[in-house]
Amino acid sequence: MTFQEQIQQGIPNQLPQPKPYETNINHAPKRKEILGEEEKKLALKNALRYFEPQFHAELLPEFKEELEKYGRIYMYRFRPDYEMKARSIADYPGKSEQAKAIMLMIQNNLDYAVAQHPHELITYGGNGAVFSNWAQYLLTMKYLSEMTNEQTLVMYSGHPMGLFPSHKDAPRVVVTNGMMIPNYSKPDDWEKFNALGVTQYGQMTAGSYMYIGPQGIVHGTTITVLNAFRKIKKDPKGGLFVTSGLGGMSGAQPKAGNIAGCVTVCAEVNPKITKIRHEQKWVNEIHENIDELIERVRKAQENKETVSLAYLGNIVEVWEKFDEKNLKIDIGSDQTSLHNPWAGGYYPAGQSFEESNRMMAEEPELFKEKVQETLRRHAAAINKHTQKGMYFFDYGNAFLLEASRAGADVMAENPSLGREFKYPSYVQDIMGPMCFDYGFGPFRWVCASGNPEDLQKTDDIACAVLEEMVKNSPEEIQQQMKDNIQWIKGAQENKLVVGSQARILYADAEGRMKIAEAFNNAIKNGEIGPVVLGRDHHDVSGTDSPYRETSNIYDGSRFTADMAIHNVIGDSFRGATWVSIHNGGGVGWGEVINGGFGMLLDGSEDADRRLKSMLFWDVNNGISRRSWARNEGAVFAIKRAMEAEPNLKVTLPNFVDESLF
């Protein structure tokens, strides 16, 4: 069968042969056993409902073995034989160009070069899934190949509910992931209901088909690291940045350090992913001996090198040994997946990677105890470095939150509302007041032709638009504009493309609309092929996350999720090609609600109308909320937006004189 025919067949009429478990692939860790006997039976019945009854007798023991061995039913047998990668939009079968664009993006999320655990359909973060099993993938791709622009596909936490009649301006796909009743949103609830096959953790851009490889977070991390050094008034040259995590998105950290121009040390316990990041040239060197690493760091500091050094081992060893040897660290953070601490997101010190994986599945309570013990050591070592002058920030990975739950010394001596921890979230001190409040966030695009020349042309178009805008931009946003012009100019030489021909930059609503309009005109004129627009959920308005995206909201509303819900509803009727809303992004299940979108630009007048309507709302919805929280940058930005658009009328806050109290 051709690739197109395989897509169109969906779940095959005859069972494919079982596939061997490939040991050279980076696999998800075994999940802990959490289901009772009746629940296991229910999980099997839930899995078998995708298949005709005549196949149940053969599949039942196989799915039972998967559930017992891995803690989940992945249906490995049904993994497609074709190469998993984003093809040109023209290669996909279908009646709708919008649907073809979504197929392209789904396959990009599962590309072996992009996905963290591709055979388990997990893109990043240890549990950020596109689907729960391969039957869902096959059925979804079939539906997309059949749909017209008068239908909408409804996705129910990985499960394709079906095609429903709609209209051309409705989203082609509506995605929800993990939308639990609030009282059933604890970490063990995810383990249980995911094992039952009735919900999944979509992370942010994993379950919304908009991940573009580590490039997305390279940009955000670069901006963060540059501004962290600005904050301590130090040139990055010769400066030392220490952090951890090379799996999934956090593999971007050493690359960002290189772009910023500092010395980066990034620890990782997984040998396989460390090797992959080195082969991808995201990290320059791998070190396994801590003493040799210290010598190498001293040399790099003295010579003011720009270099990234991976330490294959636990980050706690690095923090403690660097303190013992009095190595000066300028800025520090952590980007292990602590939203997922008990299932592979964070590993305890003092034992091997293999032993940790065994304990995680077979002795989960002991594993949790070891993780919390390590978190206490981790925080204690960081405290010693900050006492020597290091600037430490939480990178929104729930490090401080989980450390506090473990009883670590991370709470502020004199806490205030929103400043309970000893250290700030990077959003509180850097990204929030500098970027999000002014509407700057991760605008991204994918060249659906798959042609690198199209990417170069879009880079040039975006750069020209920004350079024209910066001439008349207010002083308050000059630095943001200049940083992004510098970024886009260096994007090609930094070889940031992994998977699809994609790019990201931070832009405000005006910038996003102008760049998108310029792309649409170039498509109309035949200069480039179609372009998929999107963004990370980590943005101005898509995400309500009290310890990350909305951590610089101080009016008491940071634990509300109205903004994210409004955002996705508004995007859906203003022209998005697909929309998504998730529980549990990068900071953990039950800790955040986040929404995203995708939009196909095809050169049409419809696309021009939609992009102007949707992108304006997508950003200004969030600025309005930030303005109402009395964030001065957001008040400035929303007043500017109202001047530009007479139909925008936003309720502004009145400020109260503190002396009255």
Binding site: which residues? Answer: 125-126, 203, 268, 395, 586
3-state secondary structure of 127: coil
- Tokens in use for 491? 């994007």
DSSP output for 233-248: T--STT-EEEEE--SG
Range list of H helices, 423-451: 426, 432-434
Parallel, antiparallel, or unpaired for β 285-287 and 441-447? unpaired
Neighbours of 106 (CB within 10 A): 20
Query: Does an H or E element contain 295, and which?
Result: helix 290-303
- If you compute the radius of gyration of the chain from its CA atoms, what whole number of angstroms results? 24
Nearest one of 396, 13, 14 to 220, comparing CA atoms? 396
What's the burial of 40, exposed, middle or buried (CB within 10 Å: 0-12/13-18/19+)? Answer: middle
Residue 624 makes CB contacts below 8 A (sequence gap 6+) with: 634, 638, 650, 651
Residue linked to tokens 């975006």: 462
Cα–Cα distance measured from residue 416 to residue 312, given in angstroms and rounded to the nearest whole number = 38
Residue linked to tokens 């004189």: 657
> Annotated binding site for NAD(+): which residue ranges?
125-126, 203, 268, 395, 586
Neighbours of 297 (CB within 10 A): 26
Nearest one of 61, 74, 49, 109 to 195, comparing CA atoms? 74
Cα–Cα distance measured from residue 334 to residue 320, given in angstroms and rounded to the nearest whole number = 15
List strand residue ranges (DSSP E) for 271-351, in order: 285-287, 307-312, 331-332
What's the burial of 346, exposed, middle or buried (CB within 10 Å: 0-12/13-18/19+)? Answer: buried
Task: Tell me phi and psi for residue 377, to 5 degrees.
Answer: -65, -45
List strand residue ranges (DSSP E) for 300-454, in order: 307-312, 331-332, 391-392, 411-416, 419-421, 441-447
Q: How far is CA 128 from the centre of its chain?
A: 9
Q: What angle do CA 623, 629, 635 make, to 5 degrees?
A: 50
Neighbours of 95 (CB within 10 A): 14
